[in-house]
Chain A
Amino acid sequence: NAGVTQTPKFQVLKTGQSMTLQCAQDMNHNSMYWYRQDPGMGLRLIYYSASEGTTDKGEVPNGYNVSRLNKREFSLRLESAAPSQTSVYFCASSASGGVLNTQYFGPGTRLTVL
């Protein structure tokens, strides 16, 4: 049982390049999330998917797109990377459907945009 996995762990991009961050969970969770973490800003929600086939914008969606490929996988795409997108990106998942919404996090992807 690997929990939530993310690839890659590290990535350096040039301004204008595109890339996709991958996330997968093996806990049969319905909900999945993408956050970015910046110093002094805490975690900010980019997009989330409450169930397979649905996605919704979070607090900071501009410059990103997502795909809920199936129940296990939720990818985050940067179409034209900008230096402001330099951050650590975390994927998370939760079972949903109950009062207690414990989210389980992946190890993160550290992205640098030059």
Chain B
Amino acid sequence: GEDVEQSLFLSVREGDSSVINCTYTDSSSTYLYWYKQEPGAGLQLLTYIFSNMDMKQDQRLTVLLNKKDKHLSLRIADTQTGDSAIYFCAEGSNFGNEKLTFGTGTRLTIIP
């Protein structure tokens, strides 16, 4: 079945860039997502990328997709204390299949 992997922890100094990585196994993935979970809350969609794209930029967020290596990354520029959260990548495959497979989540800690 599908598998999505992430590192569990990342610490970054305030003002630096954060890069959160994700690998997935399903080559039929058609769309990949990044969700953010703040303490005590549910997940919120941060951004997404279609599998026919290499890069997507949205303000401080840059998503890079290497489909050959099945590697997805999320870069957060000028990391702020409000970016402290758990970040999940998720993949969806097959048009019309409603299920997503989530990674384990990466807890991002900001060092003042």
**Interfacial residues, chain A to chain B (CB-CB below 8 A):** 4, 31, 33, 35, 40-45, 48, 50, 58, 90, 92, 94, 96-97, 99-108
Query: In the complex the two chains form, is A31's CB within 8 Å of B98's CB?
Result: yes
With beta carbons under 8 angstroms apart, the residue of A42, A90, A96 that contacts B42 is A90
Chain A residues near B30: list those with CB within 8 A.
99
Query: In the complex the two chains form, is B102's CB within 8 Å of A50's CB?
Result: no
Interface with A: B11-19, B43-51, B57-65, B74-82, which one? B43-51
Query: In the complex the two chains form, is B99's CB within 8 Å of A108's CB?
Result: no
Kindly name the residue among B4, B40, B41, B100 whose own CB sees the greatest number of chain A CB atoms within 10 A.
B100
**Interfacial residues, chain B to chain A (CB-CB below 8 A):** 4, 6, 8, 30-31, 33, 40-45, 48, 50, 88, 92, 95-96, 98-100, 102-105
Q: Is the interface of B mostly helix, strand, loop or mixed?
A: strand
Chain B residues near A58: list those with CB within 8 A.
99
A41 with B104: in contact, given A90-B42, A99-B31, A105-B43 (CB under 8 Å)? yes
Chain A residues near B92: list those with CB within 8 A.
101
CA distance A96 to B100 in the complex (A): 12
CA distance A44 to B100 in the complex (A): 10
